Amino acid sequence: MFAKCTHHLNSSFIRDILAVTQQPGIISFAGGLPDPTLFPKAELAKAARGIHNQYGGDLYQYSETAGIPDFRQWIADHYDTPGSKEEIIITTGSQQGLDLTTRCLINPGDKIIVEAPSYLGALQVFTANQASLSAIPIDDEGPDLDALEHYLEQERISCFYTVPDFQNPKGTSYLLQRRKALVALAERYDFWIMEDAPYRELRYRGETLPSLQSLSPERVIRFGSFSKIIAPALRLGWISAPQPVIKIVEKMKQCADLHSSGYDQHLVLEFLRQGSLPAHLEQLKQVYGERLKIMFNTLSSQLPETVKLSKPDGGMFIWTELSETADTMKLFRKAIKQGVAFVPGEAFHIDGGSKNCLRFNFSNSDSEQIQQGIKRLTALIINESE
């Protein structure tokens, strides 16, 4: 009845369980959600009044497929991207960036390498577009480049997909040396790097590392997002890439939705022009950074010493590896009954793996919830391992 590609359409485990985890009384470390109490409501309302007063009917008219020119210019001016606004296109969230780019780059059967574990929404896009997926393990310092090179010696790949800053789900970042070695491989073996960077601005300690794109502008397609630093409901992201890529993605976007909400683009641009981002970002970093500390300390003080925790410097997630025989899918079902939720590790793999791991989100729970929730969970985990 439906097209062949729909056989590969998997609904996201996370989206499916969101309904369950949003029941009252549940402490949810599951979704990758920003804390809604921190959204800059007043500043966005001010921006809404601002654009209402500044613009006539044009605010509500059709606009350019690539995005409002001044908005693209703002991104070109304020992010460490190469090139001008001609190398930037606005997308309906960075999720659309991934889908449009994949549609433009990948024929069915073309090979994409992903991280193991990897961002679920990207895996969905790649499988829906019938890419052939393989995974390379990542450790706390980046991808296993020996494994990658071994693969490249045997197979031609189209793309390597990565979240090098505060990875989803592990929370860790690539070291500079691994970044350099990865782009060197891309140049030697002629493939694209898709650099997904939605958490890059959410660094709570340490220094910002060069983007992969800055190390090899001709090889890297970078995806940015306003969802994590302003508001996900507005669905605004962007792609920065060499102009031929932007041009073809623009044509695909014309088919896909003509353009992203012009009203929301003007709203965010006005928020940015009013200078509201720096203070807001500072607040996010302070609150989320504190929550990361509390969660990390609570987990490491309460869980058995054999449990391994990732040590993120930013982002929204901590990755936890239980004893080898643990089954976090089973644990998930028990945890829900105890009023606490997380995402089991295997959700982040194309074909199993990390069955003894779990992802904790710390951005959307306050310190009391974090302590309460971890307490409930620790009891279950210790019970499990006995």
Binding mask 33-52 for its own copies (x = CB under 8 A): xxxxxxx-x--xx--x---x
Tokens in use for 4?
Answer: 């062949």
Closest CB to its own copies among 296 and 342?
A: 342
Residue 121 contacts its own copies per CB under 8 A: yes
**Which span (90-98, 111-119, 139-147, 271-279) binds its own copies, by CB under 8 A?**
90-98
Does residue 291 bind its own copies (CB under 8 A)?
no
Chain residues 264-283 in contact with its own copies, contact rule CB under 8 A: 264, 267
What is the nearest approach in angstroms of its own copies to the Cβ of residue 6?
5
Shortest distance (Å) from residue 308 CB to its own copies: 30
CB of 364 to its own copies, least distance (A): 9
- Among positions 166-185, residues that touch its own copies (CB under 8 A) are none
CB-based contact 109:130 (threshold 8 Å):
yes
Q: Which helix (H) or strand (E) holds 278?
A: helix 277-302
Range in contact with its own copies (rule: CB under 8 A) among 28-36, 273-281, 294-302, 339-347? 28-36
Candidate segments 75-83, 97-105, 133-141, 167-175, binder of its own copies by CB under 8 A: 97-105
Which neighbouring-strand residues pair with 134? Answer: 113
Least distance (Å) from its own copies to the CB of residue 174? Answer: 25
Nearer to its own copies (CB atom), residue 73 or residue 302: 73
| CB-CB neighbours of 59 under 10 Å | 14
* Residues 71, 226: Cα–Cα separation, whole Å: 12
Q: Which H/E stretch holds residue 343? A: strand 343-344
- CA distance linking residue 236 with residue 96, whole number of Å: 9
Q: How far is CA 116 from CA 45, 170, 292, 298, in A?
A: 41, 10, 23, 26
Site for its own copies in 54-73 (CB under 8 A): 56-63, 65
Would you say 270 or 321 has its CB closer to its own copies?
270
Query: Nearer to its own copies by C-beta: 107 or 301?
Result: 107
Q: How far is the CB of 287 from its own copies (least distance, A)?
A: 13
CB-based contacts of 21, cutoff 8 Å, min separation 6 = 28, 30, 31, 336, 341
Say which residues have a Cβ less than 8 Å from residue 292's Cβ, sequence separation at least 6.
Answer: 204, 312, 314, 318, 362
When the beta carbons of 93 and 117 are compared against its own copies, the nearer one is: 93
Residue 206, classified by CB atoms within 10 Å of its CB into exposed (0-12), middle (13-18) or buried (19+), is exposed
To its own copies, the closest distance from the beta carbon of 190 in angstroms equals 11
Residue pair 164/198 in contact by the 8 Å Cβ criterion: no
Residue 224 · residue 87 · CB < 8 Å: no
Asked whether position 20 contacts its own copies by CB under 8 A, the answer is: no
The nearer residue to its own copies, 65 or 118, going by C-beta atoms, is 65
Cβ at position 238, least distance to its own copies in Å? 14
State the minimum distance, in angstroms, from the CB of residue 241 to its own copies.
Answer: 12
Contacting its own copies within 208-267 (CB under 8 A): 227, 231-235, 244, 248, 251-252, 254-264, 267
Give how many residues touch its own copies by CB under 8 A. Answer: 71
Q: Please, what is the minimum distance in Å from the beta carbon of residue 303 to its own copies?
A: 29
Backbone phi, psi, residue 309, to 5°: -115, 140
**d(C-alpha 45, C-alpha 344), whole Å:** 38
3-class SS string, 36-96: HHHCCHHHHHHHHHHHHHHCCHHHHCCCCCCCCHHHHHHHHHHCCCCCCHHHEEEEEHHHH
Site for its own copies in 126-145 (CB under 8 A): 128
**Residue number with CB closer to its own copies (124 or 172):** 124
